[in-house]
DNA sequence: AATATTGCAGACCGTATGGTCTGTTTGTAT
DNA sequence: ATACAAACAGACCATACGGTCTGCAATATT
């Protein structure tokens, strides 16, 4: 026997003490013309939230990355998060975009400065693993990718960005390295193989007894790659001075 | 203004029609001695649930694989599931064990019949990808592995089984193939690299434009492996007759 | 035939989660 | 000075999930 009396939709908000967290946001010495304080603060909060999301994704995985946990990690209010990212997928998609951007930056920088030397293949592999993959960011990214497989909404948000990333990433490698395979874009192919291997390795990592096991796998892979991938000899063609 | 009248903790179970689904379970012609009908039915239900779990993991991913969905997919009652698997982690862990067993079976069979020929490396790679990885089972397994990274309970349930699988899997390969690398167990190392690559490829798969792109990656990888991995020449040593 | 056990059926519950909504404060435009 | 908009702050809610519990029918045992 259940008897409910609800005043549905008539509950009025009670008194609440609102407090704005953080400093009162003094106007900085050089306030850029159209960069208002609103914009600036908004961007800062956004950044804090995204960094917290990366941490949560790494630590808890996609499904356990909740608004509540991000809120705690970022030390912002619930409203701040939902203001910037209306849904969970939007938050994660933006996180992914940030991660991709960070990964691409070094490549683009090298491209802008064409006289920098390409690393030896072995170093390239080892550095890429350490910087891009075996890190908070790399693990968070794998979580996002895996979530995409079964979350249609998230997948639709990210598909274009990711294929674009694949393309640019492959192009950057092809500019500096050359492969032994038949196709002209063999370096890009090898690079895609390397990335897949890395992502699988992240998943595998937790079950090896010692970190050395991972290093052995990686070293062996690098050894193989050294036979297939080469630093492109002639940096000529375009910009041939010096 | 809220007014609740609950008969808390005094709600007595009402009349319920219990219906046992499935056939009335006639005694089969050859009832094994200690294999009672109870055991048989129990195993059947268990199998149905596990298969449904595999399907859900593939289709929805780990976190969206709920008791409710498994229940629907298996067409069993909620009670049946919780009876066999008290927690979600237990269900998934058992699913993982089943998957590992299925993957190992062909290897063990070959081991039991030592005169079967080893496949060429290229075929080994292609077959393994198709059978073990690019399938409902393979995708479900990747979901489980990824979930393990951040789910401590699940991880503890599976760690031993997975390291054991790695060991046996590597040993099986080493028995049939030999690697070019310095170490004696180089074939096992290469095989571990292949598996990580495959898992990464599953994640990558969703973002390629055509299935052909995956095939190119795989073919290139197989081509590389053909230079590193060889069918072991002498099938002698043990069992040297014929 | 009587009793015990196994294998299941499904109601129930506390909790957490994604999302919405209203209110407030701070900065901006007029 | 005043009106307006942006950027939060946090209460609120429907829903669904994992897990527990009681009940019952089919087998098994004695």
Question: CA nearest A222 in B: which residue?
Answer: B193
State, as a whole number of angstroms, the distance between the CA of A38 and the C1' of D6: 7
A59: nearest CB among B148, B150, B228: B150
Q: Which CATH number fits domain B96-231: 1.10.1740, 3.90.105, 1.10.3470, 1.10.357?
A: 1.10.357
- Higher-confidence residue of B9 and A66: namely A66
Contacts of B223 in chain A (CB under 8 A): 181
pLDDT in the model for residue B1: 27
CB–CB of B189 and A217 under 8 A? yes
Please report how the helices A211-228 and A186-205 are oriented relative to each other, as an axis angle in degrees rounded to 10.
Answer: 170
Tell me which residue of B60, B176, B30, B25 sits closest to B111, measured CA to CA: B176
pLDDT tens digits along A103-123 = 998 888 877 777 777 899 999
Best residue in B196, B221, B222, B228 for a mutation probing chain A (most A CBs within 10 Å): B196
pLDDT band at A20 (very low <50, low <70, confident <90, very high): low
d(C-alpha B128, C-alpha B229), whole Å: 15
* Rounded mean pLDDT, B22-37: 50
State, as a whole number of angstroms, the distance between the CA of B9 and the C1' of C14: 13
The nearest CA of chain B is from the CA of A75 a distance in Å of 22
d(C-alpha B204, C-alpha B224), whole Å: 20
* Rounded mean pLDDT, A190-195: 98
pLDDT in the model for residue B7: 29
Nucleotide nearest to A37 (CA to C1'): C27
Q: Is the pLDDT of residue A240 over 60?
A: no
Element (H, E) at A3: strand A3-5
> What is the pLDDT of chain A when averaged over all its residues?
85
- Higher-confidence residue of B85 and A237: namely B85
Residues 139-178 of A with CB under 8 A from B: 139, 142-143, 145-151, 155, 159, 162-163, 166
d(C-alpha B134, C-alpha B205), whole Å: 9
Q: Is B203 an interface residue toward A (CB < 8 Å)?
A: yes
Half-sphere exposure of A66 (CA within 13 A, CB side): 5
CATH architecture of A88-231: Orthogonal Bundle (1.10)
Please report how the helices B88-112 and B136-150 are oriented relative to each other, as an axis angle in degrees rounded to 10.
Answer: 130
Q: Is the pLDDT of residue A66 over 50?
A: yes
Contacts of B150 in chain A (CB under 8 A): 59-61, 64, 143
* Rounded mean pLDDT, A160-180: 94
CB–CB of A63 and B63 under 8 A? yes
pLDDT in the model for residue A69: 98
Residue B112, both tokens:
């039991």
Q: Is the pLDDT of residue B2 over 60?
A: no
* Rounded mean pLDDT, A198-220: 95
Residue A44, both tokens:
């800062």
* Non-local CB neighbours of A170 within 8 Å, separated by 6+ positions: A185, A187, A188, A189, A191, A192
Contacts of A196 in chain B (CB under 8 A): 197, 200-201, 203-204, 217
SS3 for chain B is CCEEECCCCCCCCCCCCCCCCCCCCCCCCCCCCCCCHHHHHHHHHHHHHHHHHHHHHHHHCCCCCCHHHHHHHHCCCHHHHHHHCCCHHHHHHHHHHHHHHHHHHHHHHHHHCCCCCCCCHHHHHHHHHHHHHCCHHHHHHHHHHHHHHHCHHHHHHHHHHHHHHHHHHHHHHHHHEEECCCCCCHHHHHHHHHHHHHHHHHHHHCCCCCHHHHHHHHHHHHHHHHHHEEECCCCCCCCCCC
pLDDT tens digits along B138-196 = 999 999 999 999 999 999 999 999 999 999 999 999 999 999 999 999 999 999 999 99
pLDDT band at A84 (very low <50, low <70, confident <90, very high): very high
pLDDT in the model for residue B20: 52
- Higher-confidence residue of A3 and A225: namely A225
The nearest CA of chain B is from the CA of A45 a distance in Å of 27
Residues 30-89 of B with CB under 8 A from A: 59-64
CB contacts < 8 A, A to B, total 144
Q: Is B200 an interface residue toward A (CB < 8 Å)?
A: yes
* Rounded mean pLDDT, A198-226: 96
The nearest CA of chain B is from the CA of A221 a distance in Å of 7
Q: Is the pLDDT of residue A161 over 70?
A: yes
Tell me which residue of B231, B217, B223, B129 sits closest to B180, measured CA to CA: B231
State, as a whole number of angstroms, the distance between the CA of A22 and the C1' of D3: 27
Q: Is the pLDDT of residue B46 over 70?
A: yes
Q: Is the pLDDT of residue A241 over 50?
A: no
Question: Which nucleotides of strand C lie under 7 Å from a protein CB?
Answer: 6-13, 16-29
Half-sphere exposure of B4 (CA within 13 A, CB side): 3
DSSP state of A12: -
* Rounded mean pLDDT, B206-217: 93
Contacts of B146 in chain A (CB under 8 A): 61, 142-143, 146, 203
pLDDT band at B19 (very low <50, low <70, confident <90, very high): low
Query: Exposed e or buried b for every residue in B151-160, given b needs 16+ CB within 10 A?
Result: beebbebbee
pLDDT tens digits along B90-140 = 999 999 999 999 999 888 887 777 677 789 999 999 999 999 899 999 999
d(C-alpha B182, C-alpha B186), whole Å: 7
Where do the structural domains in chain B lie, given as residue ranges? 96-231
Contacts of B195 in chain A (CB under 8 A): 200, 204
- Higher-confidence residue of A114 and B48: namely B48
Best residue in B64, B157, B195, B220 for a mutation probing chain A (most A CBs within 10 Å): B220
- Count CB atoms within 10 A of the CB of residue B54: 26
d(C-alpha B241, C-alpha A29), whole Å: 89
> What is the pLDDT of chain B when averaged over all its residues?
85
Contact A94, A54 (CB under 8 A): no
CB–CB of A220 and B59 under 8 A? no
Does residue B79 lie within 7 Å of nucleic acid chain C, judged by its CB?
A: yes
Q: Which of A211-215, A237-241, B42-46 has the lowest mean pLDDT?
A: A237-241
Q: Is the pLDDT of residue A81 over 60?
A: yes
């Amino acid at each position: 026997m259940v008897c409910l009396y609800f005043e549905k939709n008539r509950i009025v908000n009670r008194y609440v003490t609102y407090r704005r967290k953080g400093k009162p946001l003094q106007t900085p010495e050089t306030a850029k013309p159209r960069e208002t304080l609103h914009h600036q603060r908004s961007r800062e909060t956004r950044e804090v939230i995204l960094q917290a999301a990366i941490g949560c994704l790494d630590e808890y995985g996609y499904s356990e990355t909740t608004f509540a946990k991000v809120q705690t990690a970022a030390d912002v209010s619930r409203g701040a998060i939902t203001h910037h990212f209306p849904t969970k997928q939007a938050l994660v998609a933006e996180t992914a975009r940030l991660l991709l951007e960070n990964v691409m930056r070094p490549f683009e920088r090298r491209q802008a400065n064409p006289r920098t030397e390409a690393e030896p293949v072995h170093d390239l592999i080892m550095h890429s693993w350490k910087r891009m993959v075996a890190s908070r960011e790399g693990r968070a990214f794998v979580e996002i990718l895996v979530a995409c497989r079964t979350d249609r909404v998230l997948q639709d948000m990210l598909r274009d960005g990711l294929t674009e990333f694949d393309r640019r990433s492959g192009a950057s490698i092809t500019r500096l390295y050359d492969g032994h395979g038949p196709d002209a874009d063999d370096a890009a192919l090898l690079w895609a193989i390397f990335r897949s291997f890395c992502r699988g390795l992240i998943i595998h990592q937790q079950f090896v007894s010692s970190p050395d096991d991972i290093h052995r796998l990686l070293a062996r892979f690098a050894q193989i790659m050294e036979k297939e991938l080469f630093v492109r000899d002639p940096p000529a063609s375009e910009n041939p001075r010096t």
